[in-house]
Amino acid sequence: MIFKSTSFPFAERHSGYWNLDTIRVMVGEDEYVLGSSEIYAPFRFSYHCRLDTVFSNKSGNSLMFTDFQVRKNPAFDRNLTITPKHIK
C-alpha cells in the first residue's frame, strides 16, 4: 500500500467560522473520503485536540490523528494537501 496524499478541503458553513468536515486520502490508485463533524473554529483561530481525532466513512475506513491541530489561513486556498514529503 503506497500513501500518496491527504487533502483537507476547508468549508465555511457559518458566518465567521471555518469547518473541516471531510478529508480525501489517496492510497495507491484508491481515493477514500473520510468525514468528521467535530472540527470547526472561528476564522484566524486554530482547532486543537490532544485526544484522538478520527475521520471515517461508512465502509469502515478510518484515519486517526493524535494531538491534531489545524488552522485555516484566509490568505491561502481553501484546501491543504499533505504528501509523503511533508510527513516526518
Q: Tell me: the pLDDT tens digits for 15-27? A: 788 888 888 888 8
86 located within any domain: no
| pLDDT band, very low/low/confident/very high, at 8 (cuts 50, 70, 90) | confident
**Among residues 1, 11, 3, which one has the least CA distance to residue 85?**
3
How far is the C-alpha of 15 from the C-alpha of 27, rounded, in Å? 34
* Residues whose CB is less than 8 angstroms from the CB of residue 43 and which lie 6 or more positions away in sequence, other chains included: 16, 17, 18, 72, 74
CA 78-83-87 angle, to 5 degrees, is 110
Position 88 scores a pLDDT of 39
61 located within any domain: yes
How far is the C-alpha of 56 from the C-alpha of 23, rounded, in Å? 9
87 located within any domain: no
67 located within any domain: yes
How far is the C-alpha of 77 from the C-alpha of 88, rounded, in Å? 24
Structure pTM?
Answer: 0.71
88 located within any domain: no
How far is the C-alpha of 11 from the C-alpha of 59, rounded, in Å? 24
84 located within any domain: no
